A and B are shown apart, each in its own frame.
Chain A
Amino acid sequence: MTFSPLERRQFIALLAGGVGAVWLGAAPRDLSAAAAKAAAARDDDPWRVLSATEAQVLEAIAEQIIPSDDTPGAREARVVRFMDNALATFAAAELPAWRTGFGEVQAIVQHRRPGLASFAQMEKTEQADLLRALEHARSGFFQLVIIATLQGMFSNPEYGGNHDKIGWQLLGFQDRFVWSAPFGDYDRE
């Protein structure tokens, strides 16, 4: 049996010459600064590094990753605010790779729907088809956005995502500091 380093849990960290490593393993040099900025951010604040179009594209992708249905999804959890904040701080070195990714997505959009302004303007089913194609092609950019969406959804709200603890409510996770028995429904069996 071979010992492959490409286990699921690490697949991102090893992608594309280390792109993605900051989301999984780099040091949080300015993480506290990131948190301070994000905590003070308001919904209508300007984006720190993303263009309005880029933010719309990311929001549309994130909404496909964790959709809003009978409960809120990635959009309501403001994961794009988290991504913008991350790309302005601890993930700043990755911004060029993201910009390349936006370009790749836009090229596919232009090919499939000539004249359409961006991914965000596509029909939901068209968006899903395009993302399935990216997934099939093992797109590093799409995988990065998946990781960033999950982190924005479930990290502490101080980083800009998980707004109103929407992510934690989806899981059923309650952020309390002290628990006592019974912890679950089987404790007393």
Chain B
Amino acid sequence: MEGPSFGTRETVDFVVVGAGAAGGVVARELAIAGFRVIVLEQGPYLKAADFRHDELAVSRLGALTNDFTAQPTTFRENENQVAVPAQVLQYGRLVGGGSVHFTANYWRFREVDFHEASLKGGVAGADLVDWPISYAELEPYYTKVDWEIGVSGQAGADPHEPPRSRPYPMPPLPIKSTGVLAERAARKLGWTAFPAPTAIASIPFRGRGACVQCGFCEGFGCEVNAKSSTLAGMIPEAQATGRCEIRPNSYVRKIEVDARGRVNGVKYFDAKRHEVFQRARAVVLCANGAETPRLLLMSRSNRFPQGLANASGLVGRNLMFNGSAFAGGVFEHEVNGYKGNVVSRVIQDFYELDPALGIAGGGGADFRSGFAPISYAMGGLGDSSPAWGPELKQRLREYTRTCYVLAHSTSLPVPTNSISLDPTAVDAWGLPAIRMTFMNHPNDGRLSRYLLDHCMSLLDAAGAVRRWAFRAGASPFPQVHLLGTCRMGDDPARSVVDRYHRAHDVPNLFIVDGSSLVTSGRGQPTMTIQALAFRAAEHMGRMARAGGRW
């Protein structure tokens, strides 16, 4: 499983920044294609044996995610405010990135997500534009995600399913009581609850064992490697080629350019905080929708005074998260959502809405109870619950009979919603902190409230004896879907990367992660990020082989 170790004086073909959902795919594809690759990851290289059922360490104290103390972030609602410290975003900070602790919901985007502007019309106050690519163009790569990353599901079960060239490689994970309640509710409302496409192995897959239904998916690393993280699949496969080095505990601070304006390597701090320069013929940024724009902005130089690859001024702009709506209900009998994989059925009949509603976008919903005990006590009871006393104790007793409906939805791109460098706050390495500027587009709040009504109707239809809504409209911090901040497009004045993920301004710099997305989809963006990564790696290889063009 250990890969090669390149010297820092050696010039490798590609340095990939970030070993997450995208970086793991890019590294594996480039290494298989014959290139020498170094992946720099700011976090540690943990293995399945390091993960435990320890909610205090993992969920509440952030063992697998960015460390707010060492890496502060700041927040403001608009550009006229001074940002204040706030824990506004969370990402996986280890080899495998967020794919280690995610819930593994793998929804494909649909054609409407790629061409919403031309199909449905623009929205005032949003820079809603079409992608330069279509669903049909990405479909083969979604299928690669299914078959090479490992997705369980049932083709044809979703009546609105976009065309697919192959069935899923694995059957759906078992249905749970949450899923049965979803089916019951959907039937009553004339909708369809179908088996959730999930990046967890339901049967042995590519040398990994099947899920044992321990239930500790959301927020936790999988202890049996059944979750299809890049840590479990792509990264060991990349190392097995003998051409890919994973270099953990490496915190990149700047991408360097030569006199011709070509990238020639990256500077990073190693585990001892010594600065290292790693030479490379090309660089691929897969650092996520917040750290990627931050790194580009930190890489400003005389030649690129606005930051690298930022002639358009769009680096960091059009930040999107996916909206959400959330409701909980108590049932007569045991639901036991904590046992087994988090989501077993999803409903997407409101992926596109009746134009008469006047609401742009749409969403999808699932029934779940992904709360481990501490999270349930601290966040699962809703605002109407007393914070202490006998009534709190009574509510706590309802844990096994509680089920939630979670809807994810469109977040519109607004240019003033952004990631930028805080002018004063710095991290433990002395680098500028991430500053988030964000205010929901009014449409997104309306959409969340609309979907919240659906969540409540679904709980009623499922037979909840009591139900409650969590506040709609504003998504709670920290945000985890970090999208749109280096958008893809054909026009260099209106996008950061081209349709092949090459930076418009720098021919040997590529960017592929959540930042590439032009629209947010309806939720669950990881599958699309990985499909883009498979496709991007293919084009990077093609361009590198063309030779000398960098």
B33 within 8 Å of A (CB atoms): no
- Check B213–A179 contact: CB distance below 8 A: yes
- Check A171–B400 contact: CB distance below 8 A: yes
- Check B390–A67 contact: CB distance below 8 A: yes
Contacting residue for A177 out of B70, B174, B212, B338, CB 8 A: B212
Contacting residue for B400 out of A28, A154, A155, A173, CB 8 A: A173
- Check B333–A185 contact: CB distance below 8 A: yes
**Minimum Cβ distance to chain B for residue A164 (Å):** 15
CB neighbours of B88 from chain A (8 A) = 5
**Minimum Cβ distance to chain A for residue B439 (Å):** 5
B102 within 8 Å of A (CB atoms): no
- Across the interface, name the chain A residue whose C-beta is closest to B90: A25
CB neighbours of B69 from chain A (8 A) = 21, 25-27
Residues from 139 to 189 in A contacting B, C-beta threshold 8 Å: 143, 146-147, 150-151, 153-156, 159, 167-168, 170-173, 175-187, 189
A186 and B61 in contact (CB under 8 A), knowing A156-B54, A171-B376, A171-B396? Answer: no
**Minimum Cβ distance to chain A for residue B286 (Å):** 23
- Check A10–B62 contact: CB distance below 8 A: no
CB neighbours of A27 from chain B (8 A) = 61-63, 67, 69-70
A151 and B374 in contact (CB under 8 A), knowing A27-B70, A65-B388? Answer: yes
Give the number of residue pairs across the A-B interface with Cβ within 8 Å: 193
B214 within 8 Å of A (CB atoms): yes
> Roughly how many angstroms separate A153 CA and B396 CA in the complex, as a whole number?
11
Q: Bits for B309-339, please: 1 = Cβ < 8 Å to A, else 0.
A: 0000000000000000000000101111111
CB neighbours of A172 from chain B (8 A) = 334, 397, 399-400
| Residue tally, chain A, CB below 8 Å to B | 61
**Minimum Cβ distance to chain B for residue A62 (Å):** 9
- Check A179–B388 contact: CB distance below 8 A: no
CB neighbours of A151 from chain B (8 A) = 56, 60, 374, 378
CB neighbours of A128 from chain B (8 A) = 389
CB neighbours of A24 from chain B (8 A) = 60-61, 87
A43 within 8 Å of B (CB atoms): no
CB neighbours of A67 from chain B (8 A) = 389-390, 393
Chain B interface mostly: loop
Contacting residue for A3 out of B63, B335, B474, CB 8 A: B474
Contacting residue for A184 out of B339, B376, B475, CB 8 A: B339
Most buried by A among B62, B181, B387, B473: B387
B358 within 8 Å of A (CB atoms): no
A104 within 8 Å of B (CB atoms): no
Contacting residue for B56 out of A73, A155, A182, CB 8 A: A155
A98 within 8 Å of B (CB atoms): no
Contacting residue for B377 out of A25, A131, A150, A179, CB 8 A: A150
A66 within 8 Å of B (CB atoms): yes
- Check A1–B389 contact: CB distance below 8 A: no
**Minimum Cβ distance to chain A for residue B52 (Å):** 8
CB neighbours of B175 from chain A (8 A) = 181, 187
A-B complex: 8 closest residue pairs judged by Cβ atoms? A184-B177, A185-B333, A186-B177, A154-B373, A171-B399, A155-B56, A184-B336, A7-B476
Which A residues form the contact surface with B (CB < 8 A)?
1-5, 7-10, 13-14, 18, 21-28, 31, 64-67, 69, 73, 90, 128, 131, 135, 143, 146-147, 150-151, 153-156, 159, 167-168, 170-173, 175-187, 189
Which B residues form the contact surface with A (CB < 8 A)?
53-57, 60-63, 67-70, 75, 77, 85-88, 174-178, 180-181, 184, 212-215, 223, 331, 333-340, 373-374, 376-379, 383, 387-390, 392-393, 396-397, 399-400, 438-440, 442, 445, 471, 473-478
Given contacts A186-B180, A189-B184, 9 further A-B contacts (CB under 8 A): A1-B442, A25-B62, A27-B62, A28-B61, A155-B55, A171-B397, A176-B214, A179-B214, A185-B333
